[in-house]
Amino acid sequence: MSLLRNPITADSECEELIRSKGLRATRAAVSVLKTIHSLDVPVSHDDLQDYLSQQKPSNVVDSVTLYRILDRLSHVKLIDKVLGSDRVWRYTGERDQLNDLYECESCHQHFNLPRSSPLVTLLEQFSNQLKRKGDAAFAISFNVHGRCNDCS
Ligand SMILES: [Zn+2]
């Protein structure tokens, strides 16, 4: 998992990661993984499909294939999925970041809390305390809701 803490930039690195999970490193799977890891915010299936087709015409992935790829990549934990309050799944490269917690109630985009937020510090301390107790298998689920600048 430590590889995921760095942004993935090379296609070859994506291929390697995908193969290491026993999946086929198709061109579509590689561009999906690479794109999700290059974006700062979680993206929905539809956003991702738009984004991929805007990038390069050769990147176009049909809807069903994209669902399948997202499903497989999240199943092996190469990407993570987050359910928004609009009941739409969004996909992200690194869910482990405690500051990626803020969701706009209107447009359902996810935003990062400021790194210097006392809340982030508190959650990190809490997370470290749990880790020190030796129990590595836990997850903190926490969401902050509000309205982003565009929607307010
Ligand atoms: Zn908004």
Interval 1-42: pLDDT, tens: 333 445 566 888 899 999 999 999 999 999 999 988 888 778
Tell me what the pLDDT averaged over the chain comes to.
79
Q: Residues 6 or more apart from 29 whose CB is under 8 A from it?
A: 18, 23, 69, 72, 73
pLDDT score, position 33: 93
- pLDDT for 108 equals 81
d(CA 104, ligand 1 centre) in Å = 5
pLDDT value of position 149: 87
CA gap 137, 139 in Å, rounded: 7
1 CA to centre of ligand 1 in angstroms: 32
pTM: 0.63
Note the CATH number of domain 2-92.
Answer: 1.10.10.10
151 CA distance to ligand 1 middle (Å): 4
Region(s) of the chain under CATH 1.10.10.10: 2-92
Q: What is the pLDDT of residue 5?
A: 41
- Distance from Cα 109 to the centre of ligand 1, integer Å: 6
Whole-number Å distance, alpha carbon 14 to ligand 1 midpoint, is 31
CA of 43 from ligand 1 middle (Å) equals 14
Distance from Cα 111 to the centre of ligand 1, integer Å: 10
Where the chain has pLDDT below 50, the residues are 1-5
What CA–CA distance (Å, rounded) separates 106 from 18? Answer: 35
Q: Residue for token digits 């006392």? A: 118
